[in-house]
Chains A and B, each alone.
Chain A
Amino acid sequence: DGGITQSPKYLFRKEGQNVTLSCEQNLNHDAMYWYRQDPGQGLRLIYYSQIVNDFQKGDIAEGYSVSREKKESFPLTVTSAQKNPTAFYLCASSFTRDQPQHFGDGTRLSIL
């Protein structure tokens, strides 16, 4: 079954620690994206990548970093510089911008 897998579903972090969220897709999509959702808010774009070894900042990239070493994988690191990391993080992928983005089921990150 093709799809996008995000792991873990729930993640807890101590203040001052970096944490990495996993996103893997087997849809053969070229583009991948990370969004953040806060309660009562829409999704906001953190980073996106059109092809391997290339990525661009989205609207709220500060305090986050990404890598795209493989087509299938686009991990997101939430660094200690992110002042308010508690949120629901969603990964998505698509063939091109003219095709719909497909989403994983998200990772909920909480600060202990």
Chain B
Amino acid sequence: DQQVKQNSPSLSVQEGRISILNCDYTNSMFDYFLWYKKYPAEGPTFLISISSIKDKNEDGRFTVFLNKSAKHLSLHIVPSQPGDSAVYFCAASAWISGGGADGLTFGKGTHLIIQP
């Protein structure tokens, strides 16, 4: 049962336009969400995160929006650049009893293609 879902395997956007990547989750215990960018044969690179006490976090061209009632988050990239072409993963974590760090639950990724 997938707890984090990225329903678009790929997305094509024109350079300079806005890219919007979506992510849905089912586990109401998730309280920390992240977006990672990944190139083939490399490890994911952290982009931006948001905790459940916020509904928006912004860092340069990247903005993440969180809608807790809908269990939905999205990543906006404005403006889109050719170097943004990569696979984007949404990830989430839940506080475990006893506290401490635990692993992330990842979606399957969305391949973003920026067209010139």
Which A residues contact B (CB, under 8 angstroms)? 4, 6, 30-31, 33, 35, 40-45, 48, 50, 56, 58-59, 88, 90, 92, 94, 96-98, 100-106, 108
Q: How far is the CB of A28 from chain B (nearest CB, A)?
A: 14
Contact A100 B34 (CB under 8 A): yes
Chain B positions within 8 Å of A30 at CB level: 101
Which B residues contact A (CB, under 8 angstroms)? 4, 6, 9, 32, 34, 36, 41-46, 49, 51, 89, 91, 93, 95, 100-109
Contact A41 B95 (CB under 8 A): no
Chain B positions within 8 Å of A90 at CB level: 43-44
Contact A45 B103 (CB under 8 A): yes
Q: Kindly list the 4 A-B residue pairs having the minimum CB-CB distance in the complex, ordered from nearest.
A: A103-B43, A42-B106, A45-B103, A31-B101
Picked from B43, B104, B108, the residue with its CB within 8 Å of the CB of A45 is B104
Known: A100-B34, A102-B46, A103-B45. A42 touches B4 (CB 8 A): yes
Chain A positions within 8 Å of B104 at CB level: 33, 43, 45, 101
Can you list 8 contacts pairing A with B, beta carbon distance less than 8 Å?
Answer: A31-B101, A42-B106, A43-B89, A59-B103, A88-B41, A90-B43, A100-B49, A102-B46
Q: Which residue of A lies closest to B108 (CB)?
A: A42
Among B34, B36, B44, B89, the most chain A Cβ lie within 10 Å of the Cβ of B44
Q: How far is the CB of B87 from chain A (nearest CB, A)?
A: 10
Q: How far is the CB of A10 from chain B (nearest CB, A)?
A: 10
Contact B41 A108 (CB under 8 A): yes
Chain B positions within 8 Å of A6 at CB level: 43
Complex CA gap A50/B45 in Å reads: 21
Contact B42 A97 (CB under 8 A): no
Known: A98-B32, A106-B43. A48 touches B102 (CB 8 A): yes
Complex CA gap A92/B46 in Å reads: 11
Q: Which residue of B lies closest to A90 (CB)?
A: B43
